Amino acid sequence: MKDFTNSNWHMFQLVLPERQDGQPARATFMEEMKQRGIGIGYHYPAIHLLSLYRERGFKAGMFPIAERVGRLIVSVADVQRDDQGRRRALGRGGQGRLAAVTP
């Protein structure tokens, strides 16, 4: 029997808190992580805001929770490469580098 309970450990999805100063939380966070050598991606936009769905009548404001999460979510790979190209684990069993990061 295959183990499907641990299949997504290669990526962590983080939903960042809203910033009170009006600055874009995700862009600022991603830049800070880049400066620390931690690769961050953006994988999950609110799907109803993609052009295919807009052409079918979907509009901003129809799904506010999806829009909020889509605006604040980032993806972090569990394994990153350092300056010498060596692999390093960030999360489970790794160095715990994400534990000390706050947006």
Residue 34 in any domain: the answer is yes
Domain coverage including residue 91: 17-100
| Residue 52 is assigned to a structural domain of this protein | yes
CATH number at residue 50: 3.90.1150.10
**Distance in angstroms (rounded) separating the CA atoms of residues 45 and 91:** 24
Measure Cα distances from 4 to 8, 13, 87 in Å.
9, 18, 24
Residue 13 is predicted with a pLDDT of 83
pLDDT band, very low/low/confident/very high, at 18 (cuts 50, 70, 90): confident
Q: Does residue 78 surpass a pLDDT of 90?
A: no
**82 belongs to a structural domain:** yes
Contact yes or no for 60/45 (Cβ under 8 A): no
CA pair distance 8, 26, nearest whole angstrom: 22
43-57 pLDDT, tens digit each: 888 999 999 999 999
Structural domains counted in the chain: 1
Q: What is the pTM of this model?
A: 0.64
Q: What is the mean pLDDT of residues 58-80?
A: 87
In a domain, 59, yes or no: yes
Please check the confidence at residue 11 and state whether its pLDDT lies above 60.
yes
- Is residue 6 one of the residues assigned to a domain? no
Residue 94 contacts residue 78 (beta carbons within 8 Å): yes
Residue 7 lies in a domain: no
